[in-house]
């Protein structure tokens, strides 16, 4: 696949193209060349992305569970990040024309709280995706890299996880990606911008499907934690949603 600046810029706006180039350079520099887990037929022969007039909002709204979660969610109080618009480097977000579009569980305005120092970023992945791994990157408000990790995409998921989407098991797989326990977590009270790149080949490329958002790690108080411990699962989902804890609401 040709990834020259000229061919890539035809499907990207200039600012987003520059961001994608910078993200690919940062991840490849910090993590090194990503190990190839794809077959020789997949590597170097990726089909060009299919252009579509479908909007990102329409794509996100096509997940039944996501729509329900958005209706429950109340954005966190206080000042939101200046830029909370989620963007991506490919439309539709897929590794090849033969795949269904990848869909992400992202807060309606791109910003939410996490009660965990390793917030989970959730994707719906098509079962036939060529991608074998993702690159997860967190930056602080100054733009400095706080944490980054290269994470494998599980090859199999339980039917329970698939059924929880209200979708046929063959259509999507629900997968959560978190920083590993071996790496430091996020700092409490700090705001972070995250980027999740679905690596379609053997290394990060500027037009790989990329999702972005904001998260603040905010621990519940002792009283809140005690109250949470006594709640049922549906009540926990409602509790998190009403208090702006998007990432925990989705994880539950």
pLDDT score for 161: 42
**Domain of 29?**
5-251
Q: Please tell me the distance from the alpha carbon of residue 202 to that of residue 44, in angstroms, as a whole number.
A: 8
User: pLDDT tens-digit profile of 190-202?
Assistant: 999 999 999 999 8
CATH number at residue 58: 2.60.40.10
pLDDT score for 223: 93
The count of structural domains within the chain is 1
pLDDT score for 41: 31
This prediction's pTM: 0.70
User: pLDDT tens-digit profile of 59-109?
Assistant: 343 455 788 889 999 999 876 776 554 444 445 688 988 888 898 999 988
List Cβ neighbours of 48 (8 Å cut-off, separation of 6 or more). Answer: 1, 97
- Comparing CA positions, the residue from 111, 80, 87 lying closest to residue 15 is 87
Residue-by-residue DSSP string for 39-58: -TTTTT-PPPPPP----HHH
* Residue ranges of the chain whose pLDDT lies below 70: 1-64, 79, 82-92, 156-171
């Amino acid at each position: 696949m040709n990834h020259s600046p000229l061919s890539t810029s035809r499907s990207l706006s200039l600012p987003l193209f520059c961001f994608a180039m910078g993200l690919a350079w940062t991840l490849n520099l910090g993590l090194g060349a990503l190990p190839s887990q794809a077959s020789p037929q997949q590597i170097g022969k990726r089909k060009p992305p299919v252009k579509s007039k479908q909007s990102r909002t329409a794509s996100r709204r096509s997940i039944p569970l996501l729509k329900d979660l958005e209706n429950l969610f109340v954005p966190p109080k206080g000042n939101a990040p200046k830029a909370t618009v989620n963007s991506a480097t490919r439309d539709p977000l897929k590794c090849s024309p033969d795949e269904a579009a990848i869909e992400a569980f992202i807060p309606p305005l791109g910003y939410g709280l996490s009660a965990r120092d390793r917030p989970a970023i959730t994707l719906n992945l098509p079962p036939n995706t060529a991608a074998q791994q993702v690159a997860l990157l967190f930056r602080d408000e100054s733009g400095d890299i706080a944490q980054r990790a290269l994470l494998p995409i599980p090859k199999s998921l339980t039917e329970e996880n698939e059924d929880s989407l209200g979708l046929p098991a063959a259509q999507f797989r629900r997968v959560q990606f978190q920083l590993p326990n071996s790496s430091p977590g996020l700092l409490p009270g700090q705001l972070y911008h995250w980027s999740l790149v679905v690596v379609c080949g053997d290394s990060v490329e500027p037009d790989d499907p990329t999702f972005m958002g904001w998260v603040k790690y905010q621990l519940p108080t002792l009283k809140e934690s005690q109250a949470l411990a006594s709640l049922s699962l549906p009540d926990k989902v409602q509790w998190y949603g009403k208090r702006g804890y998007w990432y925990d609401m989705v994880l539950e």
